[in-house]
Amino acid sequence: MSQSLAGKVAVVTGASKGIGAAIAEHLAADGAAVVVNYASNAKSADAVVERITAAGGKAKAVKADVSDPAQIQALFAAAKEAFGRVDILVNNAGIYEFAPLEAITVDHFDKQFRLNVLGLLLTIQEAVKHIGPEGGSIVNISSIVGPMPVAMGSVYSATKAAVDAITVSLSLELGPKKIRVNSLNPGMVETEGLHAGGIAESQFRRQIEQTTPLGRIAQPADIAKAAVFMASDASGWVTGQSLVLSGGQRQ
C-alpha cells in the first residue's frame, strides 16, 4: 500500500458519506491523518472514522457547518489540536437543488451559493492560516455541470462554475505560498444521495450510461483516487486545473 501522504494532515469537509467519505478513507489509506468533517450526521461520520482506524489509519470526526465562519475556525482549531498541522483541504461539502426558472427563489439561490461558494471561500481562507511554509494542496469538489450546465440547474450549475473560477484565481494568488489549488468535476456518481433522490434506478441514469464511453456512472472511489493524486506530491506541478471525471461523457 502506498504511503505517499505519510505525515500529512487532511481536512475533508462533508465527509460523513458519499464522495467525501470515500476521499477521507483513501487519503487515510495513503498515510494522511484525516479530519472527517460533518454538519449533522455524527453517526455516519463516526462510522467513517471507525473504518479508517480499523484499517490502521488516523482520523477524527469534527462537527462544523462550513457556511459559518466561527464553526470553520473551530474546525481547523480541532484539526491542529488533534494532529498538530494542516497540509491538505478537500472542499467537498455542498448541496444541490434543481428548479425551473419560474420556481427560483431568493432562498433557493442563497443557500446554494452560501455553502457551495461562500463556504468554500471561507474554508480556504481559514486553511491558508494553518498550512505551513512548505505549502500544501487544496482540492475543490466541483461538478461536470460547471463546464456543462444542465436544464433546471441554473443556480447549482452557477455555483460549480464559480468554484472552477475560484480555483483558477486562488491558484494564482496562493502559488507564491506553495499552495496548489485544483478542482475535480465529477459526472454522475453512485452515492447515497443518488439513491435517496430516486435517480439511481432512473431512465436518466440509463441515458447517462448510454452516452458515457466507459459505459457506467462513477463510484465514489473513482473520485477519491483522483483527489489523492491532487493532494499528493505526484501532482506537485499541477495547479489551477479543473479535471473532469465523467468516464468520457460530454453531454
Report which of 90, 225, 86 is spatially closest to residue 163, judged by C-alpha positions.
Answer: 90
State the Cα–Cα distance between residues 63 and 75, nearest whole angstrom.
7
pLDDT given for residue 250 in this prediction: 82
Grid cell locating 118: 461562500
pTM of the predicted structure, to 2 decimals:
0.96
Q: Distances in Å between the alpha carbon of 2 and those of 31, 32, 87, 145, 219?
A: 8, 11, 18, 32, 21
Query: Please, what are the domains in the chain?
Result: 9-245 (3.40.50.720)
Instruction: Say which of 38, 76, 83, 156 is annotated catalytic.
Output: 156
Q: Residue 140's pLDDT is what? A: 98
What pLDDT sits at residue 162? Answer: 98
Coil, strand or helix at 167: helix
Task: Report the SS3 class of residue 72.
Answer: helix
Low pLDDT (below 50) residues in the chain = none
The pLDDT, as a whole number, for residue 251 is 64
In the residue annotation, 156 being an active-site residue is answered as yes
